[in-house]
Chains A and B, each alone.
Chain A
Amino acid sequence: MNTTLTVFLKEVKENLRDRRTLMSALLLGPLLGPVIFIMIMNVVLTRELDKADQPIKVPVIGATYAPNLIDALKQQGLLPQPAMADPEAAVRNRDADVVLRIPNGFGDSWRKGQTSQVELIYDSSQRDSGGSVERLKGMLENYSHRQGAMRLVARGLSPAMMAPVAIDERDQSTPQSRAGMMFGMLPYFFVLTVFMGGMYLAIDLTAGERERQSLEPLFANPVPRWKILLGKLAATCAFSLVSLLICVAAFGFCGKLIPIERLGMRMSLGVSFASQVVLMMMPLVMLLACLQTLVSAFAKSYREAQSYQSVLMLVPVFPSILLSVTPMKIADWMYYVPLLGQQVGIMQLLRGEQVTAAQMASCVIVGLVVALLTMVATAWVYRSERLAISA
């Protein structure tokens, strides 16, 4: 125990003196996530809010053929823009999100009581035009319904004839669950922070020491290697844990800066959320520290270890991708899979739902067992004769 503590204290002291490690573990890693998150969220939210409130500007071709239609659209928040020569090109060049074209036969068919046509010119592959198109379509349908109803009334029929089925939507989502949907990437930020927090230590303490040839004298001391390894793992875990704490605290603070209530959503990143996240991530801190060290033990140099780590970094992405590509129902078995368990658990918390004690326990215990197995594997690799010899 004494040996492990000695190694732990020395590694912590040495790495606290390394600016690069400090920057990445305590500043960049934990704060990058929240900062990016806030920036994205603010842009997305303000744009959504703006779009909903503000009138949309749409170039209209042939406005003179349907003055009544244009007036009705203006009342619903449309700002007609002057016509252009080539609306197709304008849409393709993103000069306009959508263009409304009214053919000159509009008035004729209208007066005959036939279906009059209007054209919407847009490009559905331009992601941010979707909102404008939907809104304009809604306005037009709205107008069409109203006029249709009036035609029926004028002929002495009930407008209900035209709507044999009425849809009444009852959305069961809560303000929190809607927010949870938007913040699906949050769990990955936590995992990434843990990964980044320990990465430089894991590389430095094994591959780095090997490259600087200090493992050889170190292993000449009368202490078993696994005790030395344990001290190194503890130091790695300590850094990634601190990193995680900073990250969770930062998210808690930043949650207040996002104007999410204005979208009718709620997000609770408070103390209870934070402590449950930390508890759930604890086994992952150990598991990733062991994995990173294990991978480092196969590398002869710092640089080699770094390239291995970047491959390893892809592993935590899989559950995130899996969940976003195939939106599965959250099932109990998921809590038994490290990484996936953390992902769904944090999602559950974000949606404002409870993670049961059994789910939490299986998530933590399975994680710890896997971490322990990886630790044993790492200790086994550490015994290798080659590890100490760099030249």
Chain B
Amino acid sequence: MIEVKDLHKHFGAVKAVDGVSFAARDGEITGLLGPNGAGKTTTLRMLYTLMQPDSGQVLVDGIDVAKDALAVRRQLGVLPDARGLYKRLTARENIDYFARLQGMDAALIRTRREQLIKALDMADIADRRVEGFSQGQRVKTAIARALVHDPRNVILDEPTNGLDVMATRSMRQFMRHLKEEGRCVLFSSHIMQEVAALCDRIVVIAHGRVVADETPDALRAQTGEANLEDAFVKIIGSEEGLAA
């Protein structure tokens, strides 16, 4: 469970995040939708404690980010916008590194790592060096690395960015799988189809503000548009920065 209350963050004169509030519940997929530059990544960065909000509060499983950042990070699995793998290490070594930083013991690391390798269908690449991986293989490795400590809450920044159709499909399936396990899944996207297909709840962000926070059905009803794409355009006020 992730709760965000009235979050603000500015860079110089630019108000990147200007009063964002929403909640992402356990056993649900929450989608953060907005055009490029709307403040999605900045919001997520404040959730996983990389940035400090100017004001506002973030609670992860009831723990205040401002009070105990380390405890919050333990509850989170994070796939940042930048995947940042170590290319001179193999996929397995990449996963193990983060597992050790999470403080897991060797036996537990082995079990979890092999589970994830199986679930993400990456056994064939596990012992290859990351250098030369395709975009899809990179994302898989980064996700396995982010989830190795079995976090309750999963934050994915643009998880399907740069993936081909097949890889996107399996990524979506994996996210549903995480939801079925009862986790709280929060992901950002600028692709409407994706959000519509996956989410139990959609939070639409534009210009650093939340402009809608509804179920997909309610969104359609609210805007009076049967087509979700038209609904989004109506909410955001322009078509700029969105992809179908």
Chain A interface residues (CB < 8 Å from chain B): 2-3, 6-7, 10, 13-15, 17-18, 209, 212-224, 385, 388-391
Contacts and interface: CB of A to CB of B under 8 A. Distances in A.
B88 to A, nearest CB: 5
Contacts of B101: 3, 6-7, 218, 221-223
B84 A17 contact: no
A222 B86 CA distance: 19
Contacts of B79: 217
Nearest to B97: A10
B71 A215 contact: no
A17 B93 CA distance: 13
Interface string B90-133: 00010001101111000000000000000000000000000000
Interface in B31-80: 45, 48-52, 70-71, 73-74, 76, 78-80
Interface residues of B, number: 33
A224 B70 contact: yes
B207 interface: no
Contacts of A213: 80, 82-84
B142 interface: yes
| Chain A binding surface, main DSSP class | helix
30 contacts: A3-B101, A6-B100, A7-B101, A10-B93, A13-B89, A15-B88, A17-B88, A212-B87, A213-B80, A213-B84, A214-B84, A214-B86, A215-B84, A216-B82, A217-B83, A217-B84, A217-B145, A219-B50, A220-B73, A220-B80, A220-B146, A221-B98, A221-B101, A222-B74, A222-B102, A223-B70, A385-B51, A388-B50, A389-B45, A389-B50
Contacts of A388: 50
B88 A14 contact: yes
B88 A217 contact: no
Interface string B198-240: 0000000000000000000000000000000000000000000
A7 B45 CA distance: 23
Contacts, number: 82
Given A214-B82, A220-B48, 8 more contacts: A14-B86, A213-B82, A217-B79, A220-B49, A221-B73, A221-B98, A222-B70, A391-B82
Nearest to B129: A17
Interface string B143-160: 001100000000000000
A10 B90 CA distance: 12
Given A13-B89, A224-B70, A385-B52, A218 B84 contact: yes
Q: With a 10 A CB-CB cut-off, give which of B49, B74, B80 has the most chain A CB atoms.
A: B80
Nearest to A219: B50
Contacts of B178: none
Contacts of A222: 70-71, 73-74, 101-103
B85 interface: yes
A309 B154 CA distance: 39
A213 B85 CA distance: 8
Contacts of B89: 10, 13-14
* Ranked 8 nearest A-B pairs via Cβ: A214-B84, A213-B82, A222-B73, A221-B101, A222-B74, A6-B100, A220-B78, A213-B84
Interface of B: 45, 48-52, 70-71, 73-74, 76, 78-89, 93, 97-98, 100-103, 142, 145-146
A223 B82 CA distance: 20
Q: With a 10 A CB-CB cut-off, give which of A3, A7, A10 has the most chain B CB atoms.
A: A10
Contacts of A390: 82
Contacts of A14: 86, 88-89
Contacts of A3: 101, 103
B33 to A, nearest CB: 20
Contact of B50 (A7, A385, A391): A385
Q: With a 10 A CB-CB cut-off, give which of A3, A14, A17, A221 has the most chain B CB atoms.
A: A221
Contact of A220 (B76, B88, B103): B76
Q: With a 10 A CB-CB cut-off, give which of B52, B88, B93 has the most chain A CB atoms.
A: B88
A216 B50 contact: yes
A68 to B, nearest CB: 79
B141 to A, nearest CB: 11
A221 B146 CA distance: 9
A223 B97 CA distance: 13
Contact of B88 (A18, A209, A215, A221): A18
Contacts of A216: 50, 80-82, 84
A15 B89 CA distance: 10
Given A10-B97, A222-B74, A223-B70, A214 B103 contact: no
Contacts of B93: 10, 13
Contacts of A223: 70, 101
Contact of B84 (A6, A10, A18, A212): A212
Nearest to B79: A217
Contact of B102 (A214, A221, A391): A221
Contact of A2 (B70, B103, B145): B103
Given A217-B80, A222-B70, A222-B74, A6 B50 contact: no
Nearest to A16: B88
